[in-house]
Copies of this chain bind each other. A is one copy, B any other.
């Protein structure tokens, strides 16, 4: 049943909550978006909080799926960086509200997600990627930079320009289309920047 009431509510909730956050969203608005009665939300999901947690878990999982797949792939790091940047920026151009949503809710309730993070083994994946990375350093192929700093650089350069879109557009007076072009430009620029710094020829 892809268009069952429950499914329609889930999709509506995702749409509204992602943009407005927990505090800013109204159950009535979600019901309207789903085209169902307000009471149905409580019938299927018990409470606003429960509905929210379900949405959060799903979205959080999606964001890290891409990252995980690429980081654990067995190609040269130069290709890995390119693939990561491309995949991530494409994903974020499709769902630009995602990072702000996640950072917001993790800031307000850092412990909410521990369970979910364990269930998708984020910790393990992190360690595995780290091991691979450190092996390359020992082989003299990568610059000797702590893995966590590398990851911060990589994620910063991809995610922040998406996050800061409204601020950027105000300051630099670029249009929506120009902004989109800038982000597409970044795919090559960010890869180039990171590769030139990280890879030892």
| Chain A interface residues toward B at CB < 8 A | 20-21, 23-24, 100, 102-104, 106-108, 110, 113-114, 117, 122-123, 126, 145-146, 148-149, 151-153, 155-157, 159-161, 163-174, 182, 185-186, 189-190, 193, 196-197
Instruction: Establish whether residues A126 and B171, one from each chain, have CB atoms under 8 Å apart when the complex forms.
Output: yes
Instruction: Establish whether residues A172 and B153, one from each chain, have CB atoms under 8 Å apart when the complex forms.
Output: no
- Nearest Cβ in chain B — how far from A87, in angstroms? 18
Instruction: Establish whether residues B170 and A114, one from each chain, have CB atoms under 8 Å apart when the complex forms.
Output: yes
Indicate which residue in B23, B152, B160, B189 contacts A24 across the interface (CB closer than 8 Å): B23
Chain B residue contacts of A170, Cβ below 8 A: 106, 110, 113-114, 117, 122
Can you pick out 7 interface pairs between chain A and chain B where the beta carbons lie within 8 Å of each other?
A23-B24, A100-B107, A117-B170, A148-B168, A149-B186, A153-B157, A156-B157
- Nearest Cβ in chain B — how far from A174, in angstroms? 7
Given contacts A108-B24, A189-B145, A197-B193, contact A152 B168 (CB under 8 A): yes
Chain B residue contacts of A104, Cβ below 8 A: 100, 104
Indicate which residue in B21, B167, B172 contacts A106 across the interface (CB closer than 8 Å): B167
Chain B residue at minimum C-beta to C-beta distance from A117: B170
Indicate which residue in B123, B161, B172 contacts A126 across the interface (CB closer than 8 Å): B172
- Give Cα distance in the complex from A186 to B113, angstroms: 27
- Give Cα distance in the complex from A164 to B169, angstroms: 22
- Nearest Cβ in chain B — how far from A48, in angstroms? 13
- Give Cα distance in the complex from A137 to B160, angstroms: 25
Chain B residue at minimum C-beta to C-beta distance from A24: B23
Instruction: Establish whether residues B167 and A102, one from each chain, have CB atoms under 8 Å apart when the complex forms.
Output: yes
Chain B residue contacts of A103, Cβ below 8 A: 100, 163-164, 166-167
Chain B residue contacts of A114, Cβ below 8 A: 170
Given contacts A167-B103, A171-B123, contact A186 B23 (CB under 8 A): no
